[in-house]
Chains A and B, each alone.
Chain A
Amino acid sequence: MEEGKVIQKSRLQRLFEAGEFVVTGEVGPPMGADADHVYHAAEALNGVIDAANVTDNQTSILRMSSIAASLLVQQKGVEAVVQMTCRDRNRIAIQSDLLGAWALGLRNLLILSGDHQAFGNDRGAKNVYDVDSIQLIKMLTDLQNEGVFHNGKKAKGVPGFFIGTTSNPFADPAELQLIRLKKKITAGARFVQTQSIYNVEKFEAWMEKVREWGLHKEAYFQAGVLVNKSVRSIEMTQKVPGMDIPDHLVERMRKAEDPKEEGIRIALEIIQRVRKIEGVSGVHIMAVGWEEIVPVIVERAGFLPRPALD
């Protein structure tokens, strides 16, 4: 950081550091240039969550950029977490965009590999992956600590992002995924959001390993929770590679009279269980295609009001 200038830490960072149980949500940018779509989503989340992830061409589907949409979100009083994948941009473009993001007042950054373009609508697009997520975390952390770019040049204005990343407790091989998580934290990741949890036992076992490796002391862990509103939704989720959904939960949705309410109940149960696990410092709530339910979940989970900070 430059001498003499005090950069205020983001709300998210301050809450984590104060030991609060953090609640974040998500805003998915529109498949177009419609700013109102973002404004409405942000307004609904104001006061309900501590910060909102703004996805970056998620599942490789072309949408408004995360940085632009993050700015729109912040204009409505909700703190944004910019997401940056490695799939679409080379190191020059990524750093360039992030310097701009900092200049625009964005403070939180989630770095991830990004789903391969085979999943999206532009399968013929060139596969960039100039740097992988670990290399990017390290590049940025080094820049923020030393004020010098990877290319050797001194930066005129150094960003100070609160850098986070993702981890999947259900991916294999388990040992390798943990090694990778450790590398991400060593490289500079300060918070970790996990893949959506359904199999709580498996997540508990994973957190035990995390604690064994002391990783919970080096980074803040947020448990990912997805809210499904229908049987179809949970069935589709089950098909995603890397997801682990026990069949009994799918059965509950199938047998429920009111699948929406059941989906909410399941999410709340998971939230209540994971918040008790040692090392878990927050939840990250995802309600794909059902953003309006997030305030309901947050309230019923007993997370309101959100802590105030000076």
Chain B
Amino acid sequence: MIVASQKPVEEIRETLKDYKKVLIAACGTCVTVCLAGGEKEAKELAALLSLSGEQEFKVVTPERQCDAEFLAEFDKDVRQADAVLSMACGAGVQFMAERCAGKPVIPALNTSFLGVNRDVGYWTEMCQGCGNCILEKTGGVCPVARCSKSHFNGPCGGSSNGKCEVDPSIDCGWQLIYDRLKSLNQLHRLYEIIPPRDWSTSRDGGPRKLRRTDVVTEEV
């Protein structure tokens, strides 16, 4: 899932200061699950920002902000507001902005990564969306996302006690790969030199799109 966290509340207040009536659009999917932008967080933010008594807030919660039909439900609320504070991930904020012509759409969150929920309140980055998955070569641990240097033939010389030189709280991705491959009896894979990556499938090739032409009958 997409993992994001709320911007510092004073930063949010600063970006909203010119607007009197603000619609707070929470999002019911990824950011609810990572406790950043769901309805509950929206209600808390509304209460905090209402302490000054100078602005009016209304909270709505589209199921998610990345499908237009869910946004359509709140067109009327958008029209009545001076600005929209979107608590969705970066994708949702932008989709909302496209839809709300003429209305400023302000982000409440900093979107960070594709990750998993390891425990209550704890998420870790797992995937960079590089567009060319080689997880079967590395025992199911991603060298692009989980090695700080994205080494394909790691680790580097700074791996120590299974931790990354960048930060002792970061596991060395290649230690994890090694442990996994060992448990799978696939250490021979490590002898293979993985050649340089074609990064054009990643964001380096420009903003990406995906089409399934078989599910539409009109010409695209």
CB of B8 within 8 Å of the partner chain: no
Q: Which residue of A lies closest to B192 (CB)?
A: A183
Please report whether the interface of chain B is mostly helix, strand, loop or mixed according to DSSP: loop
Q: For residue B173, give the distance in angstroms from its CB to the closest CB of chain A.
A: 12
Expressed in whole angstroms, the Cα–Cα distance for A166 and B144 within the complex equals 22
Would you call B149 and A171 a contact (CB within 8 A)? no
Chain A contacts with B in 108-144, Cβ cutoff 8 A:
112-113, 115-116, 118-119, 127, 129-135, 138-139
Q: Given known contacts A116-B165, A173-B175, is B191 in contact with A168 (CB within 8 Å)? A: no
Q: Given known contacts A171-B157, A187-B193, is B152 in contact with A135 (CB within 8 Å)? A: yes
Expressed in whole angstroms, the Cα–Cα distance for A135 and B197 within the complex equals 9
- Number of residues on chain A facing chain B (CB within 8 A): 38
A231-247 CB mask vs B (1 if < 8 Å, else 0) is: 00000000001100000
Would you call A115 and B165 a contact (CB within 8 A)? yes
Would you call A186 and B149 a contact (CB within 8 A)? no
Q: Given known contacts A172-B161, A173-B178, is B150 in contact with A129 (CB within 8 Å)? A: yes
Chain B positions within 8 Å of A168 at CB level: 157
* Interface residue tally on B, bucketed by range: 20 to 34
Q: Which residue of B lies closest to A117 (CB)?
A: B166
Chain B positions within 8 Å of A186 at CB level: 193
CB of B72 within 8 Å of the partner chain: no
Q: Which residue of B lies closest to A135 (CB)?
A: B196
Would you call B190 and A176 a contact (CB within 8 A)? yes
Chain A positions within 8 Å of B163 at CB level: 241
Chain B contacts with A in 168-202, Cβ cutoff 8 A:
174-175, 178, 187, 190-191, 193-197, 199
Would you call B154 and A172 a contact (CB within 8 A)? no
Write 27 A-B pairs (CB below 8 A) sorted by A numbering: A86-B149, A115-B165, A118-B148, A118-B166, A119-B165, A132-B152, A135-B195, A139-B196, A167-B157, A171-B155, A171-B157, A171-B158, A172-B159, A172-B175, A173-B162, A173-B175, A175-B178, A177-B157, A180-B153, A180-B190, A182-B191, A186-B193, A241-B160, A241-B163, A241-B165, A242-B157, A242-B158
**Contact residues of A with B, CB < 8 Å?**
86-87, 91, 112-113, 115-116, 118-119, 127, 129-135, 138-139, 150, 166-168, 171-173, 175-177, 179-180, 182-183, 186-187, 195, 241-242
Add 5 more A-B contacts to A91-B196, A130-B197 (CB < 8 A). Answer: A116-B165, A127-B149, A132-B151, A172-B159, A179-B190
